Structure 1
Amino acid sequence: MKITLDTKSLLLGFLGAGLMFTAISFKNERGPLIGRYRTEVNANNMVVILDTESGDYIIAPALQEGGKATWFKGEFDKTFIAAIDNKR
Protein backbone atom coordinates (compact mmCIF):
# COMPACT_ATOMS: atom_id res chain seq x y z
CA MET A 1 0.00 0.00 0.00
CA LYS A 2 1.53 3.22 -1.14
CA ILE A 3 0.68 6.41 0.82
CA THR A 4 1.43 9.73 -0.78
CA LEU A 5 0.91 13.20 0.62
CA ASP A 6 0.29 16.08 -1.67
CA THR A 7 0.77 19.69 -0.59
CA LYS A 8 -2.98 20.36 -0.47
CA SER A 9 -3.58 17.55 2.06
CA LEU A 10 -0.53 18.54 4.11
CA LEU A 11 -1.63 22.18 4.26
CA LEU A 12 -5.17 21.18 5.20
CA GLY A 13 -3.81 18.96 8.00
CA PHE A 14 -1.66 21.74 9.45
CA LEU A 15 -4.53 24.23 9.31
CA GLY A 16 -6.84 21.74 11.03
CA ALA A 17 -4.29 21.08 13.78
CA GLY A 18 -3.73 24.81 14.24
CA LEU A 19 -7.45 25.39 14.53
CA MET A 20 -7.75 22.65 17.15
CA PHE A 21 -4.87 24.10 19.20
CA THR A 22 -6.41 27.56 18.98
CA ALA A 23 -9.84 26.32 20.06
CA ILE A 24 -8.41 24.40 23.00
CA SER A 25 -6.19 27.25 24.21
CA PHE A 26 -9.03 29.76 24.76
CA LYS A 27 -9.93 30.21 28.41
CA ASN A 28 -13.45 30.92 29.51
CA GLU A 29 -12.66 33.18 32.43
CA ARG A 30 -14.10 36.39 33.71
CA GLY A 31 -12.10 39.57 33.82
CA PRO A 32 -10.90 41.06 37.08
CA LEU A 33 -13.63 42.07 39.46
CA ILE A 34 -14.20 45.76 39.79
CA GLY A 35 -13.74 47.05 43.31
CA ARG A 36 -11.64 46.04 46.26
CA TYR A 37 -14.35 45.26 48.82
CA ARG A 38 -17.00 42.54 48.56
CA THR A 39 -20.15 42.60 50.69
CA GLU A 40 -22.43 39.63 51.33
CA VAL A 41 -25.70 39.58 53.24
CA ASN A 42 -27.39 36.24 53.92
CA ALA A 43 -31.00 35.40 54.76
CA ASN A 44 -30.40 35.86 58.51
CA ASN A 45 -29.22 39.47 57.93
CA MET A 46 -25.60 38.56 58.73
CA VAL A 47 -23.22 40.95 56.95
CA VAL A 48 -19.67 40.11 55.81
CA ILE A 49 -17.39 42.72 54.21
CA LEU A 50 -14.18 41.31 52.70
CA ASP A 51 -11.12 43.24 51.52
CA THR A 52 -10.10 41.18 48.48
CA GLU A 53 -6.54 42.52 48.40
CA SER A 54 -5.46 41.98 52.01
CA GLY A 55 -7.91 39.28 53.17
CA ASP A 56 -9.15 41.36 56.10
CA TYR A 57 -12.85 41.11 56.88
CA ILE A 58 -15.50 42.34 59.29
CA ILE A 59 -18.62 40.40 60.28
CA ALA A 60 -21.86 41.64 61.80
CA PRO A 61 -23.96 38.73 63.11
CA ALA A 62 -27.72 38.79 62.64
CA LEU A 63 -29.35 41.85 64.17
CA GLN A 64 -32.32 41.70 66.46
CA GLU A 65 -35.24 44.01 65.78
CA GLY A 66 -34.08 47.52 66.72
CA GLY A 67 -30.74 46.17 67.96
CA LYS A 68 -27.30 47.58 67.45
CA ALA A 69 -24.69 45.89 65.26
CA THR A 70 -21.67 44.26 66.89
CA TRP A 71 -18.80 44.01 64.43
CA PHE A 72 -15.96 41.47 64.60
CA LYS A 73 -12.72 41.99 62.66
CA GLY A 74 -10.36 39.34 61.42
CA GLU A 75 -7.83 38.30 58.83
CA PHE A 76 -8.88 35.53 56.48
CA ASP A 77 -5.50 33.75 56.40
CA LYS A 78 -5.06 33.67 60.18
CA THR A 79 -8.64 32.54 60.79
CA PHE A 80 -8.32 29.81 58.16
CA ILE A 81 -4.99 28.51 59.51
CA ALA A 82 -6.21 28.50 63.14
CA ALA A 83 -9.56 26.96 62.09
CA ILE A 84 -11.49 29.09 64.55
CA ASP A 85 -14.84 30.77 64.15
CA ASN A 86 -14.61 34.54 64.56
CA LYS A 87 -18.30 34.99 65.45
CA ARG A 88 -17.93 35.13 69.25
Structure 2
Amino acid sequence: MKITLDTKSLLLGFLGAGLMFTAISFKNGQDQTGGRYHTEVNANNMVVIVDSETGNYIIAPPVEQTGKTTWIKGEFNKTFSTAVDNKREPK
Protein backbone atom coordinates (compact mmCIF):
# COMPACT_ATOMS: atom_id res chain seq x y z
CA MET A 1 0.00 0.00 0.00
CA LYS A 2 1.45 3.29 -1.08
CA ILE A 3 0.66 6.42 1.01
CA THR A 4 1.06 9.78 -0.63
CA LEU A 5 0.63 13.19 0.93
CA ASP A 6 -0.31 16.05 -1.25
CA THR A 7 -0.07 19.71 -0.26
CA LYS A 8 -3.82 20.13 0.14
CA SER A 9 -4.13 17.22 2.62
CA LEU A 10 -1.08 18.35 4.57
CA LEU A 11 -2.36 21.94 4.84
CA LEU A 12 -5.82 20.74 5.86
CA GLY A 13 -4.30 18.51 8.57
CA PHE A 14 -2.20 21.33 10.05
CA LEU A 15 -5.17 23.68 9.97
CA GLY A 16 -7.35 21.10 11.74
CA ALA A 17 -4.68 20.46 14.39
CA GLY A 18 -4.22 24.20 14.96
CA LEU A 19 -7.96 24.66 15.34
CA MET A 20 -8.08 21.81 17.87
CA PHE A 21 -5.22 23.30 19.94
CA THR A 22 -6.89 26.71 19.86
CA ALA A 23 -10.25 25.31 20.97
CA ILE A 24 -8.72 23.28 23.79
CA SER A 25 -6.57 26.11 25.16
CA PHE A 26 -9.30 28.78 24.97
CA LYS A 27 -9.97 30.36 28.36
CA ASN A 28 -12.85 32.44 29.54
CA GLY A 29 -11.94 36.13 29.39
CA GLN A 30 -13.36 36.74 32.86
CA ASP A 31 -11.13 35.70 35.75
CA GLN A 32 -13.04 33.61 38.29
CA THR A 33 -11.07 34.86 41.31
CA GLY A 34 -10.70 38.50 40.30
CA GLY A 35 -13.50 40.32 42.06
CA ARG A 36 -13.21 43.37 44.24
CA TYR A 37 -14.90 41.83 47.29
CA HIS A 38 -13.85 38.45 48.69
CA THR A 39 -16.00 36.59 51.20
CA GLU A 40 -14.91 33.77 53.46
CA VAL A 41 -17.06 31.74 55.84
CA ASN A 42 -15.37 29.34 58.24
CA ALA A 43 -16.71 26.30 60.11
CA ASN A 44 -17.80 28.41 63.09
CA ASN A 45 -20.05 30.55 60.82
CA MET A 46 -17.74 33.55 61.13
CA VAL A 47 -17.93 35.77 58.01
CA VAL A 48 -15.10 37.96 56.67
CA ILE A 49 -15.62 40.31 53.70
CA VAL A 50 -12.51 42.01 52.27
CA ASP A 51 -12.36 44.86 49.74
CA SER A 52 -9.23 43.99 47.75
CA GLU A 53 -8.84 47.52 46.35
CA THR A 54 -8.89 49.52 49.59
CA GLY A 55 -7.95 46.90 52.20
CA ASN A 56 -11.07 47.57 54.25
CA TYR A 57 -12.82 44.60 55.79
CA ILE A 58 -15.76 43.68 57.97
CA ILE A 59 -16.00 40.65 60.22
CA ALA A 60 -19.16 39.07 61.59
CA PRO A 61 -18.33 36.82 64.53
CA PRO A 62 -20.61 33.84 65.16
CA VAL A 63 -24.11 34.84 66.18
CA GLU A 64 -24.44 34.96 69.94
CA GLN A 65 -27.36 33.75 72.04
CA THR A 66 -29.31 36.94 71.36
CA GLY A 67 -29.39 36.22 67.63
CA LYS A 68 -27.90 39.60 66.72
CA THR A 69 -24.90 39.92 64.44
CA THR A 70 -22.29 42.47 65.47
CA TRP A 71 -20.11 43.61 62.57
CA ILE A 72 -16.53 44.67 63.24
CA LYS A 73 -15.03 47.12 60.73
CA GLY A 74 -11.35 47.52 60.04
CA GLU A 75 -8.65 48.57 57.62
CA PHE A 76 -5.98 46.01 56.83
CA ASN A 77 -3.01 48.40 56.50
CA LYS A 78 -3.82 50.18 59.76
CA THR A 79 -4.35 46.92 61.67
CA PHE A 80 -1.19 45.39 60.20
CA SER A 81 1.04 48.41 60.90
CA THR A 82 -0.10 48.85 64.52
CA ALA A 83 -0.31 45.10 65.24
CA VAL A 84 -3.41 45.71 67.34
CA ASP A 85 -6.47 43.48 67.05
CA ASN A 86 -9.82 44.84 65.98
CA LYS A 87 -11.97 46.44 68.56
CA ARG A 88 -15.62 47.17 68.17
CA GLU A 89 -16.29 50.77 67.33
CA PRO A 90 -18.11 52.66 70.07
CA LYS A 91 -21.76 53.35 69.34
Alignment of 1:45-84 (within 5 A): 45-64=45-64, 67-84=67-84
Contact kept? 1:61, 1:87, Cα under 8 Å: no
How many aligned residue pairs are there? Answer: 58
Q: Name the SS of the counterpart of 2:86 in structure 1.
A: coil
Give the aligned residue type for 1:70.
Answer: T
**Cα contact 1:55–1:77 (8 A) shared by 2:** yes
Conservation of the 8 A alpha-carbon contact between 1:59 and 1:87: no
Structure 2 Cα separation of the partners of residues 37 and 78 of structure 1: 19
**1:51-86 deviation line (CA, Å, top 9, x unaligned):** 001100000111135611000111000001111111
Tell me the percent identity: 66
Q: Given residue 43 of structure 2, which amino acid in structure 1 is its aligned partner? A: A
Q: CA deviation at 1:35?
A: 1.4
Q: Which amino acid aligns with 1:52?
A: S
Equivalent AA in structure 2 for residue 75 of structure 1: E
Deviating beyond 2 angstroms after TM superposition, the runs of 4 or more aligned structure 1 residues are: 31-34
TM-score when scaled to structure 1? 0.58
Q: Does residue 85 in structure 1 map to residue 88 in structure 2? A: no
Structure 1 unmatched runs, 5+: 1-30
